[in-house]
Amino acid sequence: MNTRVTVKTKDEITRIKQLQKEIEQLKKLLLKKDMDALMDESYLEVAAEQLGYKSVLELKKKLNIKP
């Protein structure tokens, strides 16, 4: 029978909680960044369509924007 005993100090517990909060914040930030990129791409698609371009890539080439 294997038994594992873990002893943690208050400082370790506090640090673990801080790191868990930081992980949650980073996840939210990454999600926001992904959503912002998706919105930007959507705006470019609409702009390309309204300006008469066949694709976003064509619009980016015309505007000298690297894809």
- Picking from 31, 59, 32, 54, the residue whose alpha carbon sits closest to that of residue 44 is 59
pLDDT digits (tens, 9 = 90+) for 16-65: 999 999 999 999 999 999 999 999 999 989 999 999 999 888 888 888 87
pLDDT at 7: 78
Terminal-to-terminal C-alpha distance of the chain: 58
Global pTM value: 0.64
Q: How far is CA 44 from CA 20, 25, 51, 52, in A?
A: 36, 29, 10, 12
What distance in Å separates the CA atoms of residue 20 and residue 31, rounded to the nearest whole number?
Answer: 17
